[in-house]
Amino acid sequence: MKTQETLYLGIDGGGSKCRVLLTDDKENRLASGIAGPANPNQGLDLAINSILDATQQALEQARLPAGYIDQLIVGIGLAGVNLPKYRLMLEQWDHPFKQMHITTDLHIACLGAHGGQDGAVIITGTGSCGMVQVNGTQIELGGHGFSVGDQGSGAWLGIKAVKLCLQSLDGLMPHSGLVPRLLELTQCNNAQQLAERMANLAPAGYARLAPLVLECAEAGDENALGIVRAGADYLNRLAYKLMSHQPPRLSMIGGLAQKIQPWLDADIRTLIQPAIQPPEIGAIHFAQQQV
Amino acid sequence: MKTQETLYLGIDGGGSKCRVLLTDDKENRLASGIAGPANPNQGLDLAINSILDATQQALEQARLPAGYIDQLIVGIGLAGVNLPKYRLMLEQWDHPFKQMHITTDLHIACLGAHGGQDGAVIITGTGSCGMVQVNGTQIELGGHGFSVGDQGSGAWLGIKAVKLCLQSLDGLMPHSGLVPRLLELTQCNNAQQLAERMANLAPAGYARLAPLVLECAEAGDENALGIVRAGADYLNRLAYKLMSHQPPRLSMIGGLAQKIQPWLDADIRTLIQPAIQPPEIGAIHFAQQQV
């Protein structure tokens, strides 16, 4: 490799992991790295440590000296930077890169899914959100956070199941197989224990219940069906709204994307196409578009 | 007053206020006191300070010496003591009273509402819950806390309105008058501000929106109607379940009780009777039943 060649680093910084990908200027993969959370709302120091840790891994893997970091043109997509407070925190970081271009995790996912071209994307994993990019315009929908949004996400399916089971155990909703299965999974014997153990958890604590809810719905459990259909109804409305901007493609990514798709409207299902590239490459597209 | 006469103190310890009532053994009111929060899940020291503060006020008002505290037979109803952890904290308190008998805030509200006799009660204020006491059996329903329960409460109506407005601002739900009214009340201009300001609030932060939701529903706003009807549906089911135990009376108390009643089923509305006594007297009934 030529010394001082300009390289690109794409960073996908999420709430649980930070992934980086190092490429040359033709997007050829040179190396990758992975580290801990890089969500600025969990603390800027933690995010910076994760970013630098993953970057160092990639440089080592590419057999480049650590000092090469000042030659990297970086695109970084982070959850939370749609909020001015967190964006400003990142912008004020005296970073060691040649350049750093900041956008949202949703934006780099959308760019990656469509190979840097226009398109729409729905992310549904622990949380949920959607984005459409057409003719230079970007519209982000949903993603308002677990307490007041994130409908149709894994955490949403999970907390809906807890609420429903509590009502069922109180005799206010019909019983179904979901109830004993959820008690078993959470190692609870009654409503009081369930309320005590499952109150005020982080989103991931509810999202771990989502596979059970989907499994029960697939088996025809009426309570689980009600929850999954309500989640799918939100994702349908989100998809129709994104498609109203006439993007050339629609992708759906995230941990719940495969499992929830069979519950969506047929009109939407037929539109969904695979993501072409991962978000880290989307981040590199973003950096290249800014340079 | 005879020296060393046995007096009763009823304590209603809630999440925002602690009310005490001092009576003689015929339940004749001698004095009262009011202090800060006495919910053990907000810290035992705070709860104890509030209890002792309000008690001291009552003794002073009755012109009794502070040392008279060791002659008081106390009944105390506290939110949270249905959970063993908080009940144990209270029981381990080396209290200065002659006797202290602990139960839930819901139980003393029920005893007060029905003059110490059997009956059922629904509390709907910031949170919601129900209880029925018949022939020595007490059943508590709901009250599982805001994150996984409290349907039909003020906080629940409020957060439902925030969620709905965010979807409406995203173009995923029909617009209605509720949306601009809520933005005005919360001093927000758009979905991003609303999500940022109204995420992860304490229940009281959402409950302050409930009057607006009810007002819009009364004016026929379709979005507000959907929320209020869903809340009333839960309270109907709670009431029917409580009545299935055939209590002689049903009362509904709490800050939202009057406003939500017109939305309940006619069958339920006709059953609701006024509370006979306040929870503090219910606490004294409870103490007398234990002595």
pLDDT digits (tens, 9 = 90+) for A176-206: 999 999 999 999 999 999 998 999 999 989 9
More confident residue, B120 or A81: B120
The mean pLDDT of chain A is: 93
Contacts of B199 in chain A (CB under 8 A): 144-145, 147-148
A3 pLDDT tier (thresholds 50, 70, 90): low
Looking at the complex, report in whole angstroms how far the Cα of residue A238 sits from the nearest Cα belonging to chain B: 6
CB of A74 within 8 A of CB of A97? yes
pLDDT over threshold 90, residue A98: yes
Residue A194's H or E segment, with its range, is helix A191-198
Tens digit of each residue's pLDDT (9 = 90 or more) over B250-275: 999 999 999 999 999 999 999 999 99
Chain A CA closest to residue B143: A195
Residue B172 to residue A82, Cβ atoms within 8 A = no
Q: Please state the rounded mean pLDDT for residues B194-222.
A: 95
User: How many angstroms separate the Cα of B95 from the Cα of each of A166, A279, B92, B110?
Assistant: 35, 60, 9, 25
Average pLDDT, integer, range A26-48: 89
| Per-residue model confidence (pLDDT) at position B4 | 63
Tell me the C-alpha distance between B151 and B128, whole Å: 7
Residue of B nearest to A174 (CA): B237
Residue B140, min C-alpha distance to chain A (Å)? 9
Question: Tokens in use for A234?
Answer: 């939100």
What's phi and psi for B272, nearest 5 deg? -70, 125
**Cα angle value B145/A213/A19 (rounded, 5°):** 90
* Set of chain B residues whose Cβ sits within 8 Å of the Cβ of A145: 195, 199-200
State the average pLDDT over residues A114-142: 94
pLDDT of A26: 87
Quick check: helix, strand or coil at residue B95?
A: coil
CA atoms of B244 and B253, how far apart (whole Å): 20
The pLDDT assigned to A82 comes to 78
Res B5: pLDDT = 77
pLDDT of residue A267: 96
Nearest alpha carbon to residue A186 among A175, A196, A197: A197
E strand residue ranges, B14-56: 18-23, 29-35
Question: pLDDT, tens digit, for every residue of B40-71?
Answer: 877 889 999 999 999 999 999 999 999 999 99
* Number of neighbours of residue B147 by Cβ within 10 angstroms: 17
* Nearest-angstrom CA–CA distance, A106 and A253: 10
d(CA B178, CA B165) in angstroms, rounded, equals: 8
Stronger pLDDT, A87 or B156, i.e. the higher one: B156
pLDDT band with cut points at 50, 70 and 90 for residue A4: low
CA A101 to the chain's CA centroid: 19
Coil, strand or helix at A106? helix
Average pLDDT, chain B: 93
Asked whether residue A1 carries a pLDDT value surpassing 60, the answer given is: no
Query: Cα dist. A154→A125, A238, B28, B159 in Å?
Result: 6, 16, 56, 20
Per-residue pLDDT tens digits for B18-32: 999 999 988 899 999
Give the pLDDT band (50/70/90) at residue A39: confident
d(CA A238, CA A240): 6
Cβ–Cβ < 8 Å for A253, A275: yes
Inform me whether the pLDDT recorded for B1 exceeds 70: no
Nearby residues of B94 by Cβ (< 8 Å), 6 or more positions away: none
Q: How far apart are CA A233 and CA A260, in angstroms?
A: 11
| Token digits of residue A103 | 């956008």
Largest pairwise CA distance in chain A: 71
Per-residue model confidence (pLDDT) at position B80: 78
Which residue of chain B is at minimal alpha-carbon distance from A86?
B196
Q: Put the strands of the sheet holding A137-142 in their side by side order.
A: A137-142, A128-134, A119-124, A250-253
Given CB atoms, is A193 within the 8 Å cutoff of chain B? Answer: no
Residue that wins the pLDDT comparison between A143 and B286: B286
pLDDT at B188 over 60: yes
Q: Which of B102, B105, B106 is nearest to B131 (CA)?
A: B106
Which structure tokens are listed for B176? 């209605």
Please name each of the domains of chain B with its CATH number: 7-115+276-290 (3.30.420.40), 118-274 (3.30.420.40)
The residue that leads in pLDDT, A249 or A41, is A249
Q: What is the mean pLDDT of residues B216-225?
A: 97
Interface test with A, best of B131, B144, B167, B237 (most A CBs within 10 A): B144
Mark yes or no for CB contact A148/B170 under 8 Å.
Answer: no
Does the beta carbon of B241 lie under 8 angstroms from any beta carbon of chain A?
yes
B137: alpha, beta or left? (left if phi > 0; alpha if psi -120 to 50): beta
A119 pLDDT above the threshold of 90: yes
Residue to mutate among A86, A132, A144, A162, with most B CBs inside 10 A, is: A144
pLDDT of residue B201: 93
Which chain A residues touch B147 with a CB distance below 8 Å?
A: 159, 199-201
Please state the rounded mean pLDDT for residues B223-229.
98
Within 8 A of B231 by CB-CB distance, chain A residues are none
- Residues of chain B found within 8 Å of residue A122, distances taken between Cβ atoms: none
Residues facing B138 on adjacent strands: B133
Ranges assigned E (strand) in A136-255: 137-142, 250-253
Exposure of A233 by Cβ count < 10 A (0-12 exposed, 13-18 middle, 19+ buried)? middle
| Shortest Cα distance, chain A CAs vs residue B36, angstroms | 24
Residue type at A255 in one-letter notation: G
